[in-house]
């Protein structure tokens, strides 16, 4: 009998994941998709522009943000997922209840920024459903993670964390070939730590699971360009960072500007 498809077959390198935040306050898109109909239109446009999957989230994870209840998260994402029948979907959540409902509505991937540490039931939901899962590194929690992130060796510590979470997921019954890993740019990392992690992305790629990166519009990009108070980064810098990550082995790119990333990564891939 044939087993489930490996994530690298479903998302060949490079694949683009479009971001649809159904939140009032997302750091990078300022709540433009808070109305369900706007979120649905954005998701459809991203798919038309070449996104392999669209990541729908109802809880902000920007630095300083507070969590929301499962009911509120469901209230935000369910109408969007229902309306997107036929579009390949990922659910950005750390909650088992939200993931379960999203998978029922067709989500094929669970994007969990807590790497299965946030809700003890989430690993079981992923294992039982056979969904893909993204395990992301974060130091601390969104509310406080940028207060004073500290590492002796950022790349080594992120790699070791992801290796431990990969083992945890597999021990919980999730097939290894359904898992991708994410170093979590901007999640409990200074500008310097983010850039060191990008420069040493090969150490995460060496864990031999597909690597997903979210660099699009991240504040470190605005800050490296000279604005010490930047809360977002521009498209030009997002594209440069994505291409650098691709060169270092990243497979899946979580982005806001789908068309531009598809074009940049297609050119980069043609040169390989």
- Residue 197 makes contact with ligand 9MG by CB under 6 A: no
Q: What DSSP line would sit under the chain, residue for residue? A: ---PPPHHHHSPSSEEEEEEE-SS--TTTTTTT-SHHHHHHHHHHHHHTT-SEEEEESS--STTPPP--HHHHHHHHHHHHHHTTTS-EEEE-S-HHHHHHHHHTTEEEEEETTTT-S-TTHHHHHHHHT-EEEEE--SS-TTTTTS----SSHHHHHHHHHHHHHHHHHHTT--GGGEEEE--TTSS--HHHHHHHHHTTHHHHTTSS-BEE--TT-HHHHHHTT-TT-SS--HHHHHHHHHHHHHTT--EEEES-HHHHHHHHHHHHHT-
Candidate residues 185, 195, 246, 253; the one interacting with ligand 9MG per rule CB under 6 A: 185
Q: One of 95, 189, 218, 219 is an active-site residue; which one?
A: 218
95 is catalytic: no
Q: Is 111 in the site for ligand 9MG (CB under 6 A)?
A: yes
Q: Is 122 in the site for ligand 9MG (CB under 6 A)?
A: no
- The torsion angle over the Cα atoms of residues 145, 122, 174 and 143, rounded to 10 degrees, is -10
Closer by beta carbon to ligand 9MG, 67 or else 86:
67
* Interaction of residue 136 with ligand 9MG, rule CB under 6 A: yes
Return the range that interacts with ligand 9MG (CB under 6 A); candidates 36-44, 101-109, 181-189, 229-237. Answer: 181-189
Binding flag, residue 23, ligand 9MG (CB under 6 A): no
Contact segment (CB under 6 A) with ligand 9MG among 142-150, 159-167, 180-188, 241-249 equals 180-188
Q: Which of 192, 212, 190 is nearest to 201 (CA)?
A: 212
> Can residue 182 be called a binding residue for ligand 9MG (CB under 6 A)?
yes
203 versus 271: smaller Cβ distance to ligand 9MG:
203
Q: Does 233 bind ligand 9MG (CB under 6 A)?
A: no
Residue in the shown chain whose Cβ atom is closest to ligand 9MG: 214
Instruction: Name the minimum Å distance from CB 49 to ligand 9MG.
Output: 19
Cα distances from 271 to residues 200, 243, 257, 260, 266, in angstroms, run 21, 11, 22, 17, 9
Shortest distance in whole angstroms from residue 170 CB to ligand 9MG: 19
Which range in 46-54, 116-124, 177-185, 188-196 contacts ligand 9MG by CB under 6 A? 177-185
Does position 262 interact with ligand 9MG (CB under 6 A)? The reply is no
Name which position in 57, 58, 88, 222 contacts ligand 9MG (CB under 6 A): 57
Residues interacting with ligand 9MG, by CB under 6 A?
Answer: 57, 61, 92, 111, 113, 134, 136, 182, 184-185, 212, 214, 254
């Amino acid at each position: 009998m044939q087993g489930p498809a490996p994530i690298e077959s479903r998302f060949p390198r490079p694949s683009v994941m479009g971001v649809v935040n159904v939140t009032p306050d997302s750091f990078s898109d300022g709540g433009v998709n808070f109305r369900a109909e706007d979120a649905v239109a954005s998701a459809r446009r991203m798919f038309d522009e070449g996104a392999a999957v669209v990541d729908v989230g109802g809880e902000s994870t920007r630095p300083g943000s507070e969590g929301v209840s499962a009911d509120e998260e469901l209230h935000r994402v369910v109408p969007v997922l229902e309306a997107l029948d036929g579009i390949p979907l990922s659910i950005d959540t750390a909650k088992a209840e939200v993931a379960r409902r999203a998978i029922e509505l067709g989500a094929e991937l669970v994007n969990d920024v807590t790497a299965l540490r946030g809700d003890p039931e989430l690993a079981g939901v992923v294992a039982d459903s056979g969904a893909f899962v993204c395990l992301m590194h974060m130091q601390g929690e969104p509310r406080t993670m940028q207060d004073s992130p500290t590492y002796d060796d950022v790349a080594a510590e992120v790699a070791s964390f992801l290796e431990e979470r990969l083992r945890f997921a597999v021990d919980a019954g999730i097939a290894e070939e359904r898992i991708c890993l994410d170093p979590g740019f901007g999640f409990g990392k200074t500008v310097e730590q983010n850039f060191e992690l990008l420069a040493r992305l090969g150490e995460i790629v060496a864990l031999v699971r597909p690597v997903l990166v979210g660099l699009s519009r991240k504040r470190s990009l605005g800050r490296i360009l000279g604005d010490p108070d930047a809360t977002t980064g521009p498209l030009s810098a997002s594209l440069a960072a994505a291409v650098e990550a691709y060169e270092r082995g990243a497979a899946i790119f979580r982005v806001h500007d789908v068309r531009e990333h598809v074009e940049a990564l297609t050119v980069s891939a043609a040169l390989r």
